[in-house]
Amino acid sequence: MPIDLGLSRVTKLLHHLGNPHINAYKSIHIAGTNGKGSTVAYLSSILTQAKVRNGRFTSPHMVYYNDSICINNEVYPLAKFKNISDYVQKENTSLRLGCTEFELLTVIAFKIFEIERVDLAIIEVGLGGRLDATNVLEPFDPKTDLKGGVIATGITKIGIDHEALLGDTLAEIAYEKACIMKKSVPCIVDRKNEQEALKVVKEVAKNTMSDLYMVDGMNKPETCPTNKMCYSDPKSLLKYSPLKGDYQLQNLSIALTILDVVKLQNHSSLSNENGESKITADAIKLGIEKTVWPGRLQSINIPKTGLHLLLDGAHNASAAIELAKYLENIRGDEGGIIFVIALTKGKSIDNLLKHIVHKNDTVIPTVFSVPEQMPWISSYSSEDVQKVAENYVQDVRNIGTSGQSIEKVLDYVNELKLSGDNRNVVVCGSLYLCADILRYVNTLSK
């Protein structure tokens, strides 16, 4: 089933399954156009090093369908995942709810977190926020006997994307994302967002009585409307992060401020037997060092060939601008880059290419395979990408039909390198294309 935003179906299914997201564990909920995945990855890695049992739910899946769900930073085993998936889908069929694939995946994640007895779940919004299936999450209320609920929310960089579903303006999109805020639950926001977006975020925070922490990478976040202080210094800690890109300072700042705010709440599950926080300075440093988030400025070598690639899932204008900043640092003396590009139908090919390519670059258009359990997702044909790319670069090489395998594309790029082409190779345009590369590497590594 294609994307169909709404909360009624998923609410009914979760209620039938005992509302695990309310009754079993506390949650942190993260929205944003770009950067939310990296923020979730930092949080999960740090909490794991702090020995706080945590679950992580991200989307889309990267390499295999079950890698959307992790326990203590480890992908949930496929066999166990399938058992819970079969159970949830059976209940959905029995109740005739007609949940979408993403709604089912959300429920599977929430149920797995209950079964695995996590103390804290870190949940990434799938699309938007207000009507996203994950927004069934409710605020934690210490005045009740319920164990679960949201204890903090985060909003990363907001940009123009998914206009058909979220709105045509930055203000409209910001509203959809800001609506993950919960009554009286603190929200940590990237202060470097456009003022048009921040104005909307502040208004929603006022209406939900949420303390709003505005962070910009400095060690003293501006807060609105309160004046609470946080302690971690992201600028000094960023050097430990293996994730590339200047924008990681913002993502790390959001993650660290969330942890500072959560520590101030003194939840027993986050403290040791002496009542001291498990989230120590050592756990934070080690967690940052061990953070892994594939497909974002990821350097990778193709086994058996020595071919080196930079993978980046940049697929919208905001992400393309950040990728372009990074590429300026790796352009060789000749200045050119070999780009392997595929995009999801509906995305703007122009909004990617106009930011990242130079006239003397080479573009190799390709396609990605249909992602598992997401049949509504499809790739532009290589001819579609070629037509747009020819407006930006002189050298576009469509090496075959739209059905060529990623192996064929990489073999072609490797031949270029062996013939003496010393330019860097960048694969971008879609996380689904990055996933094809990573799956191919896995097969070669066995």
Say if residue 365 is preceded by a cis peptide, omega within 30 of 0: no
The token pair at 440 is 């191919």
Q: In what order do the strands lie in the sheet with 212-215?
A: 74-75, 69-71, 54-57, 120-124, 26-31, 149-155, 187-190, 212-215, 222-224
Q: For residues 134 and 10, what is the distance between their CA atoms, to the nearest angstrom? A: 9
Q: For residues 16 and 136, what is the distance between their CA atoms, to the nearest angstrom? A: 14
User: Which string of b and e fits 233-245 if b means at least 16 CB within 10 Å?
Assistant: ebeebbeebebeb
Q: For residues 371 and 351, what is the distance between their CA atoms, to the nearest angstrom? A: 23
Beta bridge partners of 5: none
Instruction: State how beta strands 149-155 and 212-215 pair.
Output: unpaired
Q: What is the reported pTM?
A: 0.91
- Mention the CATH class of domain 298-445: alpha beta
Instruction: State how beta strands 149-155 and 187-190 pair.
Output: parallel
Residue intervals of the chain classified under CATH 3.90.190.20 are 298-445
Residue intervals of the chain classified under CATH 3.40.1190.10 are 7-290
Q: For residues 63 and 41, what is the distance between their CA atoms, to the nearest angstrom? A: 16
Per-residue pLDDT of the chain (446 residues; tens, 9 = 90+): 556 667 999 999 999 999 999 999 999 999 999 899 999 999 999 999 999 999 999 998 888 999 999 999 999 999 999 999 999 999 999 999 999 999 999 999 999 999 999 999 999 999 888 999 999 999 998 888 778 999 999 999 998 776 666 777 999 999 999 999 999 999 999 999 999 999 999 999 999 999 999 998 765 555 544 434 444 678 889 999 999 998 999 999 999 999 999 988 888 888 888 888 899 999 999 999 999 999 999 999 999 888 999 999 988 888 899 999 999 888 866 679 999 999 999 889 999 999 999 999 999 999 999 888 788 889 999 999 999 999 999 999 998 755 557 889 999 999 999 999 989 999 999 999 999 999 999 888 76
Write down the architecture of domain 7-290 according to CATH: 3-Layer(aba) Sandwich (3.40)
Beta bridge partners of 211: none
